[in-house]
């Protein structure tokens, strides 16, 4: 009786392995989440598809064991059982690398395993990134992060969003003062990660940037980054040929942060912030002991500092202005800072505020402003003047005409969105001065 049962099993197995490669009851779309689709007891490996030996079989080189080791350098995988789909091998490419979740195949050799089930049990690896939804709300994770945190990821409890992901994009507003002509200039730089480089035996993702609002013309920067488990992010600088730890999201209130050559920062508080998709991220309030608490900056896990995102050690340097405007993931706007107020301000192009004609001796205050903005003339003009308040896109949001010898004017700016604005002073239609003003909540 036992031999008969074995014979039936063998016959069914031989029948199934000759079934057409696409004749299964569930054809995809294989868009499930890794931690929800990979069931317990599977062998998880990093493997390269060497060749297909049959429409339902392939040879795979085992590059690294991730969970529940496979004790073979090369294995056979079955990707189609003809009934409930397993995993169809036509979706996998020869020569490509994958994270594979496998189970032993009953009745076959010990080096034969199966991709089984209607959910996704294979995840491509490109440029050391595992592509696909890893945990709910997090796609495209560095391979090292997945490998080093596999227990938490399989239980869907891993809560460390990846900073170094090609799915992420940052818009940063830069500003400064041109001493050659007295002009204030503001422009937006857009950043994202692309290719990888290897330095000193370590793999880094290189940072690219552009000023083009249409996301064209990206060029590589001289900075590259790598990420470790627990929220540590390192920056490698091509200029100095060394790396620096720039983020550590395992820090707790009271911990100090030491950047070589800079004043010591410390963690004042740790809480969380909700992003636009409803997910929550850990947030650290970073302060400098020499400054009041109100001047602290925020670090958001997987997103970075809201000031000098890629060089947070410069956050408290006055002449290193680089303020985060917006953060995107998979082209979805997830976070906007108080400097923006709305999605319309995620890209702000150059707006020159010309050097003033000192004959008027005018001042604009307070700056930053919250409710009222005042303009005072120390030397009133003998003729009428015009004042205009421009938003970062150069649009006029407020304007008024001042009579001759006017000494002051004011605007109620409480209803304006937070951000950078420009006050223009015109005489007989010609701009004769400008001031930059920051509007806060």
CA-to-CA distance for 154 and 141, rounded, in angstroms? 14
Same domain, 137 and 204: no
Same domain, 299 and 389: no
Last residue of one domain, picked from the residues 295, 319, 345: 345
Q: What are phi and psi of 49, to 5 degrees?
A: -75, 110
In a domain, 307, yes or no: yes
The H or E element spanning position 103 is strand 97-104
For the chain, the average pLDDT equals 80
Query: Do residues 313 and 246 lie in contact, with contact meaning Cβ atoms separated by under 8 Å?
Result: yes
Same domain, 22 and 107: yes
Residues 6+ apart with CB under 8 A from 55: 20, 21, 80, 89, 90
Query: Do residues 94 and 52 lie in contact, with contact meaning Cβ atoms separated by under 8 Å?
Result: yes
In a domain, 275, yes or no: yes
Ordered DSSP codes for 248-275: ETT--TT-EE--TTSPPEEEEEEEEEE-
Domain that holds residue 315: 168-345
Ordered DSSP codes for 204-233: EEEEEEE--TTS---EEEEEEEEEETTTEE
In a domain, 160, yes or no: no
Of the candidate ranges 21-25, 251-255, 292-296, the one whose mean pLDDT is the lowest: 21-25
> Within its chain, how far is the Cα of 255 from the centroid?
25
Confidence of residue 118 (pLDDT cuts 50, 70, 90): low
Ordered DSSP codes for 323-347: EEEEEEETTEEEEE-TTT-SGGGS-
> Within its chain, how far is the Cα of 220 from the centroid?
17
More confidently predicted of 432 and 118: 432
Tokens of residue 253, six digits: 């209130």
pLDDT at residue 44, rounded to an integer:
95
pLDDT digits (tens, 9 = 90+) for 312-349: 998 887 656 788 999 999 889 999 988 776 777 788 76
Same domain, 110 and 184: no
pLDDT digits (tens, 9 = 90+) for 256-277: 988 877 778 899 988 878 888 8
Give CA separation, 159 vs 15, 152, 246, 331, 389, in Å.
Answer: 44, 8, 20, 21, 44
Same domain, 286 and 372: no
Same domain, 378 and 427: yes
In a domain, 314, yes or no: yes
Query: Do residues 50 and 73 lie in contact, with contact meaning Cβ atoms separated by under 8 Å?
Result: no
Same domain, 190 and 324: yes
Mean of the pLDDT values across residues 62-87? Answer: 80
Nearest to 326 by CA among 299, 313, 344, 311: 344
Same domain, 70 and 135: yes
Confidence of residue 350 (pLDDT cuts 50, 70, 90): low
More confidently predicted of 8 and 329: 329
CA-to-CA distance for 38 and 189, rounded, in angstroms? 40
Nearest to 331 by CA among 159, 187, 170: 170
**Strand order across the beta sheet in which 183-199 lies:** 242-248, 232-237, 219-228, 202-210, 183-199, 168-178, 322-329, 332-336
Give CA separation, 277 vs 274, 347, 396, in Å.
Answer: 8, 21, 32
Query: Do residues 383 and 390 lie in contact, with contact meaning Cβ atoms separated by under 8 Å?
Result: no
Strands 74-78 and 57-67: antiparallel
Output the domain CATH number for residue 64: 2.40.50
Last residue of one domain, picked from the residues 292, 313, 345: 345
How many folded domains does the chain comprise? 3
Same domain, 67 and 183: no
Query: Do residues 61 and 34 lie in contact, with contact meaning Cβ atoms separated by under 8 Å?
Result: no
pLDDT at residue 176, rounded to an integer:
59
Tokens of residue 367, six digits: 């700056």
Counted residue by residue, the chain has a size of: 441
Same domain, 127 and 224: no
Last residue of one domain, picked from the residues 305, 320, 345: 345
Strands 74-78 and 112-114: parallel
Its pTM surpasses 0.75? no
pLDDT digits (tens, 9 = 90+) for 375-434: 988 778 888 888 988 876 667 888 899 998 888 899 999 888 877 788 888 887 777 777
Same domain, 246 and 391: no
In a domain, 352, yes or no: no
More confidently predicted of 414 and 360: 414
CA-to-CA distance for 45 and 147, rounded, in angstroms? 9
Other CB atoms within 10 A of residue 335 CB = 21
Query: Do residues 440 and 339 lie in contact, with contact meaning Cβ atoms separated by under 8 Å?
Result: no
More confidently predicted of 62 and 384: 62
Does pLDDT of 169 surpass 70? yes
In a domain, 354, yes or no: no
Coil, strand or helix at 303: coil
CA-to-CA distance for 140 and 377, rounded, in angstroms? 56
In a domain, 161, yes or no: no
Same domain, 195 and 317: yes
Output the domain CATH number for residue 378: 2.60.40.3080
**Strand order across the beta sheet in which 280-288 lies:** 256-257, 265-274, 280-288, 297-300, 304-305
In a domain, 294, yes or no: yes
More confidently predicted of 158 and 30: 158
**HSE (CB half, 13 Å, CA atoms) of 212?**
9
Tokens of residue 192, six digits: 């994202």
Burial class for 127, CB neighbours closer than 10 Å (0-12, 13-18, 19+): middle
Mean of the pLDDT values across residues 147-163? Answer: 82
Tokens of residue 122, six digits: 């294979």
More confidently predicted of 360 and 182: 360
């Amino acid at each position: 009786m036992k031999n008969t049962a074995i014979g039936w099993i063998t016959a069914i197995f031989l029948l199934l392995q000759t079934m057409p490669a696409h004749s299964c009851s569930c054809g995809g779309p294989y868009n499930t989440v890794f931690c929800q689709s990979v069931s317990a007891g599977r062998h998880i490996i990093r493997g390269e598809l060497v060749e297909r030996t049959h429409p339902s079989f392939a040879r795979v080189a085992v590059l690294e064991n991730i969970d529940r080791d496979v004790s073979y350098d090369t294995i056979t995988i079955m990707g189609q059982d003809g009934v409930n789909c397993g995993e169809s091998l036509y979706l996998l490419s020869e020569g490509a690398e994958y994270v594979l979740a496998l189970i032993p195949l009953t009745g076959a050799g010990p080096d034969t395993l199966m991709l089984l089930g209607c959910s996704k049990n294979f995840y491509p690896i490109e440029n050391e990134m595992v592509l696909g939804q890893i945990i709910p709300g997090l796609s495209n994770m560095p391979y090292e992060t997945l490998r080093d945190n596999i227990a938490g990821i399989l239980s869907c409890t891993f809560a460390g969003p990846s900073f170094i992901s090609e799915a992420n994009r940052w818009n940063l507003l830069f500003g400064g003062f041109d001493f050659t002509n007295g002009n204030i200039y503001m422009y937006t730089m857009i950043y994202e990660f692309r290719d990888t480089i290897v330095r000193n035996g370590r793999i880094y993702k290189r940072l690219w940037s552009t000023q083009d609002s249409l996301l064209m013309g990206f060029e590589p920067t001289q900075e590259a980054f790598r990420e470790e488990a627990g929220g540590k992010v390192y920056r490698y600088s091509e200029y100095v040929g060394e790396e620096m730890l720039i983020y550590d999201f395992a820090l707790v209130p009271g911990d100090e942060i030491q950047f070589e050559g800079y004043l010591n920062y410390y963690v004042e508080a740790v809480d969380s912030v909700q992003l636009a998709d409803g997910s929550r991220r850990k947030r650290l309030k970073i302060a400098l002991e020499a400054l009041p608490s109100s001047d602290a900056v925020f670090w958001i896990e997987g997103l970075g500092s809201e000031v000098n995102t890629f060089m947070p050690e410069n956050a408290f340097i006055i002449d290193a202005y680089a303020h985060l405007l917006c953060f995107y993931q998979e082209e979805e706007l997830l976070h906007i800072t108080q400097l923006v107020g709305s999605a319309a301000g995620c890209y702000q192009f150059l707006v020159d505020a010309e050097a003033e004609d000192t004959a008027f001796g005018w001042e604009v205050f307070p700056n930053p402003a919250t409710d009222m903005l005042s303009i005072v003339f120390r030397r009133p003009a003998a003729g009428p003047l015009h004042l205009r308040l421009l938003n970062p896109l150069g649009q006029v949001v407020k304007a008024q005409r001042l009579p001759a010898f006017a000494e002051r004017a004011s605007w109620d700016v409480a209803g304006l969105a937070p951000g950078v604005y420009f006050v223009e002073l015109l005489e007989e239609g010609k701009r004769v001065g400008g001031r930059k003003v920051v509007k806060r909540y």
